[in-house]
Every structure is written in C-alpha cells, then in structure tokens.
Structure 1
Amino acid sequence: MNDTGGEVLAGPAPAPLPPPRSLSELERLALLADTTAQLISNHDVDVSLRRVVQLVLPRLADWAVIDLITDKGDVARHLVVQAGPDGLSLREDLQGPMPPVSVASPMPLSRALRGVASNLAGPDTYQGVPDSGIAVEQRRLFQVAGIKTAAIAPIRGPHEVLGAITLGRSDRPQGFTTADLALLQDMGRRIGLALENARHFQRQRQVAETMQRYLLPQLPRLPGVEMTARYLSAPDASYVGGDWYDAFPLPFGDTALVIGDVVGHDLEAAAGMAQMRNMLRAFTWSQDRPTHHTIQHLNEAMTQITDVRMTTMILARLGLDAAGTWTLRWSSAGHPPPLLIGRDGLTRFLTEANGMFLGLPAPSPRPRTEARLTLPAQSTLVLYTDGLVESRRRPLDDGLESLRRHAASLVHRDVDDFADQLLHRVRPHDNDDDVALLVLRLPS
C-alpha cells in the first residue's frame, strides 16, 4: 500500500523515471502494438486497462487517468495510477463517481468526453472559475497530483464515445507535444474498440442469462425426496447459452427428469435450448411413452422445425410403486452418464441406454433403447452437463473419476451442500463452458 491507501500495482521492479524525450516513430508503433496485444489477450476489461497503463507509465507520464461513461450516461473516474519511486500505485482516493458531461463546456476533459477533440492542458487550464462539475474534479486532480502538463484524448468506440484518457506529468518539465497527443488518440481508439466489444458481449450474456433464469424451472416437491439444481454460466461473456435442467410431474404419476446441452456458446444456443426444453415438455406430458420413443420423436421434430444442429440430453422418469419402491427409467442421447451414489458411498455410472446425440436425420444409425433400475433407499442421483467434467487440460475419464470420488466423499452432506461442494471441487479451473446440475436423494 502507498501513503494514500492505494494498491501498489504488480509489475517490474521500480526504475528511475526516464529522461524526458519524444518517442521515435518505431517506439510509437511498438507501443501501439503492445497496447493492442494487451487489450485483445484479456477478457477482463479492468485487467486490460491496468496493463495498458503499465505500458505508458513511467515511459510517457507520471499519471494516467481513465474516465468511463456507462451505458446510462453516468461518468466515473475508473482508474487513477501514479508512477513513483516505489513503482505504480493505484490512487483510489482520486477515483469514483463524476458529474455529468457538460454539453457546452470548452474545457479539455469535457470536450474529450463528448468526443469532440483531443487537447493539451497546462498549469493554468483549470485555475479559473470552473464552468462545470467535471472541471471541478479535474482541477482537484491537477492540484493533488501537481500536474504541470497533460494530454487528454477521447476513448472512442466504433459507435459511441466511452470515456477519456488523461496522461499527466508532474515531475518533468517537458510538456506533451502534438505527436504525443496523436499517439494518445490512437491508444484511445484501441481502448474504445476493446471496451465496446466487452460491453457487447456483456449485454449478450445478460440477455442469455435472463432468458435462462426464466426458463430454468422451479423443482417439483416429491414426498420424502430431496431435490436441488444448480446452473453456472461460463466465465467468458461470449460463452453462454445451451445447458439446461428440468423436472416436472407427469399426469401418469411419474416425475420427468431432464438434463441437456444444446451445442453452441452464444445467444443462439440459449434460444435453441428454449425450443428443445418446451418441445420435450410437451411431448413427455402428452404421451405416456418410453423415454427412448420420446427422445426419437424429439429428434425428428428438431431436425424439421428448429435451427438447432446438435443436442445431447438424458430423459428419465422417476416412479414410485405401491410397495414404496422407486424406479428410474431413462434414455441418453450422447450425454455424460448419470452418477448413482449409495448411502454407503458406493458409486455407479448409469451407462446403459446410451444412444446417438440429437440432430441426426431419421432413421437413427443405432436404435435407441430405454434402461430400467430399482433405486436403493437413500441413494443420490446426479445429472450434469459436460462443463462439470470436461477440460482442455485433462482427459474426460479423469473428469468423470474426479466426479465419482468427490460425490462419494460428499454423500453424507445434505443435497444443497452436496451440490455446492461438488461444483467447487470438480468443475475444472480452466472451464470455459456453462454447467447445469440436477441432484436428488431418495428417502429411507
């Protein structure tokens, strides 16, 4: 921490400030290339902005300030970083909300935030009577930082102005030049493109997650049966969409259990998931048929009336007979097998009745089948999507083995804790897929 309470940014060991000089054309091009590389190699906007700041401090300035405009037009001083003897320090005391952008102010920051122009600013720029709240905050920055010369440029995306970047020098007498300003303008355009793309993906993610939130169901209540479900979206905003779970009572007395994954990682996959879920609900509710017949009917409809290219799923029916025995009937369309855990910790993957994925034209190259199993008392059944067990860094068999071992060790926990811990322990750290999980435990 520095004496202002700011965080010291990670980076190379502190070095003396370089002597003031203008960058050569080759150095400018190299700086722009490094800026672009940092912006496109990081999905986290905050990380990208900090790394860009590390490229320019202390090479070009003693201070870097990034002001951002939100989707609703609010302005925030998002990042203020100081270069000093101990390295780069985050000045949180100078960050925070800002007044609205003045539509008429001729002051440099207000003009930059409107996207009008880039400007150089000197010691006297903000010494007069402020004409806006933005000018008041900028004068405070100049006074606290001791800025003697500054370059201010818009952060402009392809379609909108997203903010402004200010570089300030307080410990060097040399002022910024018009060549420095042109370089800062280029950096601002690159930052704007990255920010606009990030906001686009964030909006896409929010739409998809809102859709999923409304589509993922309330679980039915079965006498003595504990049931819980989880859905985790992908870490990457662009990887969201196709996984779902479902459970609903049938008019014939059974309870339908579903886990599925529409192939794809975008809003189109989320829309396809909605189509598949609704068609499957209608088919299963209206027809008292074996699960593999329902899946085949869904496959035929899918290829004719939807744009979904490929789906994996499991459809199961949980039934209770007059003697109090619970029975599971299920069919799989290329989906990872359910896991059954006994109360004694013994485990079994239900690999029977595994057919081809959905999306193949009829007739299927391999007939679909249905499996049937009497479930032991107090046993736990886990249905999941491949994001729980698949990883770029480990074979699928290793992921399944990890799931089996952790599920056995957690089977004594209540189902909510069981589900939370299973996700925490088993889901790969390099996972780039969403995960759906459905867990139920039978009574004694």
Structure 2
Amino acid sequence: MSEDSAGRSVVPIPALADPERLRSLAETRLGAAADEAFDRFARLVGDLLDVPVALVSLVTADRQFFPGATGLPEPWAGRRETPLSHSFCQHVVDIEVPMVLPDARLYPRVRRNLAIENLGVVAYAGMPLTDLDGRVLGSLCAVDSKPRAWTAEQLRTLADLAAACSSELRLRIAVAGAEQARRRAEEAHDRLAMLAGLSELLGGTLDMSTALDRLGRAMVPLLADWCLITLVDPAGRPRTVSGLHRDPDRAADLDRFTELLTTGLGPDSIIRSVLRSGRPVMRGTAALADVERGTTRPELAPLADRLGFGSHLSVPITAAADRIVGAVTLVNGPSRRGFDESDIRTALDIGRRAGQAVGNSRLYGEQRHVAEVLQQSMLPTLPVVPGIELAARYLPAADRVEVGGDWYDAFVQPDGELIAAIGDVAGHDIEAAATMGQLRNLVRGDAYGRDDPVDELMTHLDRAIQGLPVPTVASAVLARLRPAAPGFRLSWCNAGHPPPLLLPAGGPVQVLDGTRGPLLGLARPLPRTRRELALAPGDTLLLHTDGLIERRDQPIDEGQAALLEQLADAATLPLATLCDRLVAAAHRREDDVALLALRAR
C-alpha cells in the first residue's frame, strides 16, 4: 500500500511492473514527446467521437505518458505525462479489456482518481493497446468533461482505431527488435573476432603488465563498461589488481579502486569466492551492497557508484591443469544491459586464454630471472685501483630470456697496472654465454703477470683460440693503464669492436677509432696493432658493446651520433650516474648492453 500526492492510500497494480511488458514498452522508443503518427490517432478519435480530449496513453510502472494527445489542458499538454494518481488508463492495463465509463464519479475504481479533479475527466472510454504477445501497454482513450452515454458505433470506431494504433506500436517494436538483433549479431561477430585474436594478442608479449593492458583493452568497451583483472600469488592470495574504464575521465577513480582492492578484499567478496571455487558469479542486476559485503574498505562502494555499477560478472583465470591464477571481473553501468549466460561463456573463454598468457609470462619471468642471475654471476667484481675509479653496467636484451655473449673485465697486474677488456661473443644463448666465460678466462690467463704490449697479448689470444680450440668468433678491446704522472698511459688494441670513447675533463668527446683489427677467432689471424695516449686526471675512458648504439630502425652511425650527443655534457658527472644515464637511454634495447667506464683521478 502506498499514498498518492494527496495522502490517500493507493493499491499498487502488479500488472504495471511486469518486466516483459515494460521491456516491450521500452522497445517502442516512445516517451513524453509528441509523435506525429500517434497525434494523428488522437485527432481522429477527437473528430470521429466528438470529444474534447483524446489520448494515446502508454503506462509504465509509475506514470503514464502521451505520444499522441489532443485537447489536454495546461500544464498537462506541455508535460505530456501524469503520475498514476491521475491515470484511468492504468486500469485498462490491469483488466486487459476496454473500460467504458459514462460518469467516472460513480465508479468505485476511479472515483477518487485525481484526473477527475485536475484534468476534468468525467466520461471515459479506453481501448487496450497491445504488443504482438497481447500484453497491454496502454490505452487509446476518449475523454469528456461531462457525462455521456457512449454509443455502440462510437465504441466500435474507437476499437478499430485502437487496433490500428496497436499495429503502429507493434511496428515500432519490430523495428527496434530488428535493430537490436542486428546489434546483437554485430556484437556476437565482434566477440568472436576478439576471441579469435585474443590468444595471438596476448601471446605477442611476455611482459605481464603489457599482457594485462592488452586484455583490458580487448574487453572494454566491447564486453563491459569497465573491468578488473586480479592475479594471485603462489599461495592463492590476491597480489595485483589492474583495471580499465571506457571513460578516460574515470581513470583516477579506477586507479584508486584497484589500489584499495589489492588489500581490501573481504572473506565474503565475490572475487575471493571465484578464486576459491573456480566457478563464475554473475549478477544481472547488481547493487552496491555487493561491494560493501565484499570489502574491508568503505571507500570502495562510493567509488563503484561513480564508476557505474549496474551488473557484474566474475570468472576465474585458469592456467595449466586448471590451476586458478586470478579472476576477470566485468562491470556494466545501469544504462547498459545486464550480463547473461552468453556473457558467462565468453568470459570463461577469456579466462582460459588469459591463463595461458599469465602462465607463459610467469614462466618467462622465472627463466629470465635465472638467466640474469647466471649472467651476473659470470661478470667480475671490479677491483679497487689507486688513482682510477671504475664503474660497469650490464643489461640483458629487453625481449628475451637468453643469457648473452657480452662481457667486460678489469683486473690488476702484480706490478699494479690495470688491464681492462670488453667483448661480445657471437650468439645469444647458453652456448654463447659459456664461450664468453671461456674467452674471459683466456684473456685473464693470457695477460696476467705478463708485460707484453696489448697487441701482442691479443695475438697470443688469437693463437689460444685457434689452438685449444675455442669455437667462437668475437669482438674485443684490450686496454692497459700504466701510471705516468700526472695521470696514466693508456694503450689499447681493438679486435673488430666498437671503438672506445674518451671524455676529456675539459674537451669534447673523442672516438678512439684508429685501426680496428679483425675479429678474434678467424681462421687466419692477422697482425694486431695498438694505439696509445695519455689519460689526464679527470679524463674518462668508456668501453661498450654494440647494444648501446645498434637499433633495427636506424643505421649504426646514427646510434653512434646519438651516444656522442648524450655524452656531450657528461664528463663531470659521477661515474655511476654516467653509466646509469647511458643504460636508461637504451630502454628500447634489442641487444645486450655491457659498458665499462674508467676515470683517472
């Protein structure tokens, strides 16, 4: 029981709230605005029945509106709708047959209706307006402000016009249905296309954050207004939550939502239920209570309200052996249709494909970690040398897990001189890394304790590679630094490697190219040459591999020029800062990067 605007009890009519009837009514796409076709029906009723007011009245659960009307007094003529407290037509919907009242004031059903007082409705004749399934959507009615005896001919005319008016409504519904069917067909096609390309899309990267971003963009807005992707740690606890919203202006709210959700999932949360059971959970019509029950963070419910929370669907992300590694949550706002069984099937398929990507990414991460640990274990600890500061960096290629053949080394001779080397063994696999280890050890064994010039040491290295044999082709630079007041005397030999760079304390960067000899490991070793120069206090020598300057999309000369530009103002930087700047600039690296920097004090 409810009350009308005058405080009188009103008994609700269940038929008005029938979901199928309301859906059919919505599909007419009519509202409280004039529609020429239905205005024409109202005028015909007014003319043929000689009544002052005629209406095409469609009734919702809480109001009636008039797409067709003639003769209504103001303000109702402008509004083209009334509350149910002013509606006779609601009773036509209820009884589903014509309602004919010569004098409404005499009938208990309507005699207290405010339409009598406010709209002057006394005589009323209303014929049902129906959809294809016979559901009554409203009434075509004739209204008079004084009692009248409706004739059989008038009622027959009104019934004929109502039948024609119903046909127009059915046509509108059919057109809307056809458009909806077309949209659903297009949506189904888009979903199939998305699913067909999803594995390739996710398989195109082994980076977890990139894969999650691609997954979100594939689902939003095609499947939902916004989404959440939750991943768990090995113990099954939520570890990370990411999301995407179709409205970029809601990005800050969603970022805050995912931040809180990472640690704010309560024991009764739907996501935890999906993670525990592996079964999907769907709410075709959702309330914020779903959020409030599932979280320990009160801020989440108002955030969900701002993001739009009308329906939601959560499914597990399953990896190999049906292991649950996370959950996907799709959310629609109130203005978008609720999720249904077809959405569950689509989302479960997405969860399986996403699980493969997550599993591959985690395996890749584990392999990459092992490779990096192995690579780092093969790199030396830099010595402490009086008068010389040293710094080095090694970065593996950004898009693979293999250990590589790039290496550097620095060690002190018994007489206190420093031997420095850098090189690159051909290949990017475990064999290249093993060969790199052999070559580095050969350099140490060949040079340690010997006072030979660096070119002769490089020649000895050629002979060792040939004689042992070590199956490799490699580039390298071997350098010796001898104290020579006030700084050091530098001599170096280059075997097919990018030239060293000199950053003088008070001058421009110099490329120490000179004579670049053949690679190490060739069948016929050629004579080696060396060069020398003085290294003054504050001067910096930089040895690096080609990963620092090579790119697929540009000539190596451009990479060399870009490196020199980065070094133009770097001579006074702390050595560690200089190295960090260079590796940061190599963020798009396609090869391993090794660099060794030495500065005379």
* Cα contact 1:227–1:439 (8 A) shared by 2: yes
Distance, in Å, in 1 between the alignment partners of 2:505 and 2:332 is: 68
* Cα contact 2:490–2:533 (8 A) shared by 1: yes
User: Over residues 81-110 of structure 1, what are the superposed CA-to-partner deviations in whole Å (9 max), with x where a residue is unaligned?
Assistant: 4456956665233324358999xx9x9745
The Cα of 1:412 is off from its aligned counterpart by 4.1
Q: 1:171 aligns with which of 310, 331, 334?
A: 334
The Cα of 1:212 is off from its aligned counterpart by 3.6
Cα 1:287/1:204, change in 2 over 3 Å: farther
Partner of 1:29: 192
Partner of 1:136: 294
The Cα of 1:311 is off from its aligned counterpart by 2.9
Give the 3-state SS of the residue equivalent to 1:299 in structure 2: helix
Query: Which region of structure 1 is more displaced relative to structure 2, 187-196 or 115-124?
Result: 115-124
Partner of 1:12: none
Corresponding position: 1:386 with 2:551: no
Look at both structures and tell me which one has the larger radius of gyration over its CA atoms: 2
Distance, in Å, in 1 between the alignment partners of 2:389 and 2:355 is: 50
The Cα of 1:257 is off from its aligned counterpart by 0.2
The Cα of 1:355 is off from its aligned counterpart by 3.1
The Cα of 1:247 is off from its aligned counterpart by 0.7
Q: Which runs of 5+ in 2 are unaligned?
A: 1-178
Cα 1:78/1:295, change in 2 over 3 Å: same
Partner of 1:339: 501
Distance, in Å, in 1 between the alignment partners of 2:281 and 2:351 is: 13
Give the 3-state SS of the residue equivalent to 2:493 in structure 1: strand
Sequence identity (%): 34
Query: Which region of structure 1 is more displaced relative to structure 2, 176-185 or 381-390?
Result: 176-185
Distance, in Å, in 1 between the alignment partners of 2:301 and 2:581 is: 50
Corresponding position: 1:69 with 2:237: no
Q: Which runs of 5+ in 1 are unaligned?
A: 1-17
Corresponding position: 1:198 with 2:358: no
Q: How many residues align?
A: 410
User: Over residues 172-213 of structure 1, what are the superposed CA-to-partner deviations in whole Å (9 max), with x where a residue is unaligned?
Assistant: 574433322221122122222222222222222222332344
Q: How does 1:56-135 map to 2 (within 5 A)?
A: 56-71=219-234, 73-76=236-239, 78-83=241-246, 91-95=254-258, 96-98=261-263, 109-110=271-272, 112-113=274-275, 116-121=278-283
Partner of 2:317: 155
Cα 1:266/1:65, change in 2 over 3 Å: farther
Distance, in Å, in 2 between the alignment partners of 1:330 and 1:282 is: 18
Distance, in Å, in 1 between the alignment partners of 2:553 and 2:336 is: 52
Cα 1:125/1:373, change in 2 over 3 Å: same
Distance, in Å, in 1 between the alignment partners of 2:221 and 2:194 is: 13
Partner of 1:403: 563
* Cα contact 1:120–1:152 (8 A) shared by 2: yes
Give the 3-state SS of the residue equivalent to 2:397 in structure 1: coil
Partner of 1:280: 443
Corresponding position: 1:351 with 2:513: yes
Higher relative contact order (CA 8 A, sep 6+): 1
Partner of 1:243: 406
Give the 3-state SS of the residue equivalent to 1:46 in structure 2: helix
Q: How does 1:305-324 map to 2 (within 5 A)?
A: 309-320=472-483
* Cα contact 2:405–2:424 (8 A) shared by 1: yes
Query: Which region of structure 1 is more displaced relative to structure 2, 36-45 or 240-249?
Result: 36-45
Q: In structure 2, give the amino acid aligned to 1:333.
A: A
Distance, in Å, in 2 between the alignment partners of 1:244 and 1:353 is: 22
* Superposition TM-score, scaled by structure 1 size: 0.75
Give the 3-state SS of the residue equivalent to 2:446 in structure 1: helix
Corresponding position: 1:296 with 2:462: yes
Partner of 2:536: 377
Give the 3-state SS of the residue equivalent to 2:329 in structure 1: strand
* Superposition TM-score, scaled by structure 2 size: 0.58
Judging by fraction of residues, say which structure has more helix. Answer: 2
Give the 3-state SS of the residue equivalent to 1:411 in structure 2: coil
The Cα of 1:292 is off from its aligned counterpart by 1.1
The Cα of 1:246 is off from its aligned counterpart by 1.4
Structure 1 residue ranges (4+ consecutive) displaced by more than 6 angstroms after TM superposition? 18-21, 99-102, 124-128, 138-144
Q: How does 1:4-43 map to 2 (within 5 A)?
A: 22=184, 25-36=188-199, 38-42=201-205
Query: Which region of structure 1 is more displaced relative to structure 2, 183-192 or 29-38?
Result: 29-38
Cα 1:163/1:317, change in 2 over 3 Å: same
Distance, in Å, in 1 between the alignment partners of 2:491 and 2:218 is: 60
Partner of 1:431: 589
Q: In structure 2, give the amino acid aligned to 1:97.
A: T
Cα 1:303/1:350, change in 2 over 3 Å: farther
* Cα contact 1:239–1:434 (8 A) shared by 2: no
Distance, in Å, in 1 between the alignment partners of 2:297 and 2:505 is: 68
Distance, in Å, in 2 between the alignment partners of 1:124 and 1:90 is: 19
Distance, in Å, in 2 between the alignment partners of 1:74 and 1:279 is: 49
Distance, in Å, in 2 between the alignment partners of 1:32 and 1:192 is: 14
Distance, in Å, in 2 between the alignment partners of 1:347 and 1:168 is: 57
Cα 1:101/1:329, change in 2 over 3 Å: farther
Partner of 1:13: none
Q: 1:256 aligns with which of 419, 432, 448?
A: 419
The Cα of 1:235 is off from its aligned counterpart by 3.3
Distance, in Å, in 2 between the alignment partners of 1:168 and 1:89 is: 17
